[in-house]
Chain A
Amino acid sequence: MTVAHTPGGPAARSRRPSGDGRWAAILLAVPVLGLVVFYLWPLIRTAILSVSTGNPFLGYQITGFDNWVQVLTGDELPRALLNTLVYAAVVLLGVPLAMIAAVLLHQRGLRFRGLFRVLYFLPVVTMPAAVAMVWRYIYNGDFGLLNEVLATMGLPTTAWVADPRTALYAVAVVGIWMGLGTNLIILAAGLEAIPDSVTEAAMLDGAGPVRRFASITAPLLSPSVFLVSVLSVIGSLQMFDLLFVMLGRTNPALADSKTIVYLFYEEAFVRSDRPLGAVIALVTLVVTLIVTAIQFRLQRRWVHYA
């Protein structure tokens, strides 16, 4: 029959070119309403605000692109953008870590696999605001656990989240820690999807574990790695909770660690300047789109879809 077709919709579609319009309209009415009210309307409202001036009591009037000029020519945005990209890049290092863990856990006959998975996954299910508090306490420069451990090993110590040189990286480590479980699970699912026959064939050809990984596993796993990377970067671009809880508002490291969403929070929530906040919100959105588009372009060079 339709063996050649991919399963699911397409086959059915080809037979009923316009068929389900009425039903789709009925079934999609509520989801689309929600989308419009809670996502599209806020987007439009933000766009209008970004070219307005005013006051929350008297309302806002459209006055032109002064807010855009102010934000785009100011020195806060480039700095926040840079901080965000550095953060995203550091958190991306969590992907190879997750890959190592996934490959180790994938070995046949491994014991305690379930236990390991639970332990690695634990940070994912916990409240970001709560664990950020714990990490802040661990990073404390005067009585933190981390400094104590480093000191006994004879390594240098500092006030990790108050030192401008380290704060962003210290927060990124927590970002890696929180995301490792998710990355691990997705990569593990990718590994399981690689048929045993492929690796066995390579083994019979006398390929050692390293070569097997490099020439078989890695290429076949690349779609999963790509996905994990995209998700990790999008998550990093949205980072706010961790910074908010771990650094607080009067911190000498803040200027060197502020991300774009934090900058948005400062304008819109602390200074209550909603038009400037709206500009930053839209810039954040555009940056997310651009970075994701770049990733999709780059994937052609290294991702192999089977």
Chain B
Amino acid sequence: MPERSRPGRGQDARAGLRAGRVATYLVLAVGALLMVAPFLWQFLTSVKSLRESTVAPPVIWPSAWHWENYQRIFDVLPVETMAVNSLLALILRVTGQLLIASLAAFCFARLRFPLQRALLTLFLATLMVPPQLFIIPQYEVIRDLNWLNTIQALALPGIFSSFGMFILYQFMRSLPVELDEAARIDGANPWQIYRRIILPLCIPALAAVTIMTSLFSWNDLLWPLVINTDPSRMTLPVGLATLQGAQGTDYPVLMAGSLLAILPMVLIFVLLQKQFIQGIAMSGSK
């Protein structure tokens, strides 16, 4: 009896499994559609005429494809300059953050020194501070350094963000202690341990920090807006902000501009998705 009933139950289970699988795909597909729909709508709007973008009820498919909306972005904004500024700020911020964060993380994870816990807590506590709150005092620091309207000003407070340190600290703590001990026996000092042993092992974590910091830097709006008055130092998000003020309701051009601005990060993400996902997962590992 039991022998017989088994195959039957197995078939039921398989049928149930198949039904479950179909339901899974259905739920996931609907979810994915909801996640992507805004981008599709953004794209469709970006190639409509202004009039077509504001009719009720909305027109889903553009009656004519107005690719010139993309050209208009280049007419009204110095897109190339802005992209270069965004990129330079990104490179500086990422490089600085990698260096600062890895040094701090190394000290906290691999060395022992007085006030260690207190300092670590202090570093981590800054992660809870809403970044907008300190903008004006940070601005004053940059001003007193005479660095207004410079690329380093765009990158600066972000270089010292504790975010990278947090990720690298978690990662470094998980490396076996024997590494350091062997090196110390060989007469290496902490700098050499950091440089030759720990850092090379941290490549995945460093990649994660690179990607996340790039993302923060590329998308930052308020800080570059406040720190810069020089149009030749404007970044992409700031340019978008000026566009919104100047051409208040030209939705197609706004959508074209914002699509162009998010495209580089989306492309990099599609190419480096493994690293991106690892980056997020690492910031989430306890």
A199 contacts the other chain (CB 8 A): no
Within the assembled complex, what's the spacing in Å between the Cα atoms of A1 and B101? 31
Q: Interface digits, B3-47 against A, CB 8 Å rule (1 contact, 0 not)?
A: 000000000000000001100100110011011101101100100
**Surface stretch bound by A, among B87-95, B120-128, B199-207:** B120-128
Which residue of A25, A26, A122 is within 8 Å of B36 (Cβ)? A122
Nearest-neighbor residue (CB-CB) of A107 within chain B: B24
Which residue of B162, B180, B181, B258 is within 8 Å of A127 (Cβ)? B258
Q: Are A125 and B266 in contact (CB under 8 A)?
A: yes
A20 contacts the other chain (CB 8 A): yes
Asked whether A151 and B57 contact (CB < 8 A) given A8-B109, A38-B156, the answer is yes
Q: Are B284 and A122 in contact (CB under 8 A)?
A: no
B187 contacts the other chain (CB 8 A): no
B50 contacts the other chain (CB 8 A): no
Contacts of B130 in A (CB 8 A): 237-238, 240, 261, 284-285, 288
Q: Interface digits, A127-168 against B, CB 8 Å rule (1 contact, 0 not)?
A: 111110111011000111100100100000000000000000
Contacts of A292 in B (CB 8 A): 128
Which residue of B31, B35, B113, B258 is within 8 Å of A133 (Cβ)? B258
Q: Interface digits, B88-120 against A, CB 8 Å rule (1 contact, 0 not)?
A: 000000000000110110110111111010010
Which residue of A38, A128, A138, A241 is within 8 Å of B141 (Cβ)? A38
B143 contacts the other chain (CB 8 A): no
Contacts of A46 in B (CB 8 A): 133-134, 137
A24 contacts the other chain (CB 8 A): yes
Q: Are B237 and A127 in contact (CB under 8 A)?
A: yes
B160 contacts the other chain (CB 8 A): yes
Within the assembled complex, what's the spacing in Å between the Cα atoms of A89 and B136? 30
B165 contacts the other chain (CB 8 A): yes
Nearest-neighbor residue (CB-CB) of B145 within chain A: A37
Q: Are A129 and B280 in contact (CB under 8 A)?
A: no
Within the assembled complex, what's the spacing in Å between the Cα atoms of A161 and B107? 48
Asked whether A143 and B58 contact (CB < 8 A) given A46-B134, A119-B36, the answer is yes
Q: Are B270 and A118 in contact (CB under 8 A)?
A: yes
**Surface stretch bound by A, among B62-70, B71-79, B214-222:** B214-222
Within the assembled complex, what's the spacing in Å between the Cα atoms of A264 and B156? 23
Asked whether A231 and B160 contact (CB < 8 A) given A125-B276, A177-B35, the answer is no
Min CB gap A277→B, angstroms: 8
Contacts of A26 in B (CB 8 A): 191
Min CB gap A162→B, angstroms: 15
Contacts of A19 in B (CB 8 A): 111-113
Contacts of B140 in A (CB 8 A): 45
Q: Are A20 and B113 in contact (CB under 8 A)?
A: yes
Within the assembled complex, what's the spacing in Å between the Cα atoms of A143 and B50? 13
**Surface stretch bound by B, among A57-65, A68-76, A220-228:** A220-228
A198 contacts the other chain (CB 8 A): no
Q: Are B177 and A38 in contact (CB under 8 A)?
A: no
Count of chain A residues near B, Cβ 8 A: 103
B240 contacts the other chain (CB 8 A): yes
Which residue of B128, B134, B280 is within 8 Å of A124 (Cβ)? B280
B229 contacts the other chain (CB 8 A): no
Q: Are B160 and A34 in contact (CB under 8 A)?
A: yes
Contacts of A118 in B (CB 8 A): 269-270, 273
Q: Are A133 and B41 in contact (CB under 8 A)?
A: no
Contacts of B273 in A (CB 8 A): 114, 117-118, 121
Q: Are A35 and B126 in contact (CB under 8 A)?
A: yes
Contacts of B55 in A (CB 8 A): 143
Nearest-neighbor residue (CB-CB) of A111 within chain B: B25
Q: Interface digits, A1-34 against B, CB 8 Å rule (1 contact, 0 not)?
A: 1100101111111001111110111111011101
Q: Are B133 and A264 in contact (CB under 8 A)?
A: yes
Asked whether A32 and B119 contact (CB < 8 A) given A127-B219, A127-B258, A285-B129, the answer is yes
Contacts of A186 in B (CB 8 A): 280-281, 283-284
Within the assembled complex, what's the spacing in Å between the Cα atoms of A126 and B216? 10
Contacts of B178 in A (CB 8 A): 1
Which of the listed residues B128, B215, B236, B266 has the most CB atoms from chain A within 10 Å of its own CB? B128
B147 contacts the other chain (CB 8 A): no
Within the assembled complex, what's the spacing in Å between the Cα atoms of A182 and B119? 28
Q: Are B131 and A17 in contact (CB under 8 A)?
A: no
Q: Are A110 and B113 in contact (CB under 8 A)?
A: no
Nearest-neighbor residue (CB-CB) of A228 within chain B: B284
Which residue of A2, A23, A104 is within 8 Å of B191 (Cβ)? A23
Q: List residues of A whose CB falls within 8 A of some B CB.
A: 1-2, 5, 7-13, 16-21, 23-28, 30-32, 34-35, 37-43, 45-46, 100-101, 104-105, 107, 110, 114, 116-131, 133-135, 137-138, 142-145, 148, 151, 177, 180-182, 185-186, 188-190, 209, 223-224, 227-228, 231, 234, 237-238, 240-241, 245, 261, 264-265, 268, 274, 277, 281, 284-285, 288-289, 292
Can you name 9 A-B pairs with beta carbons within 8 Å? A5-B177, A28-B119, A38-B157, A104-B28, A127-B236, A131-B38, A133-B240, A137-B45, A284-B133
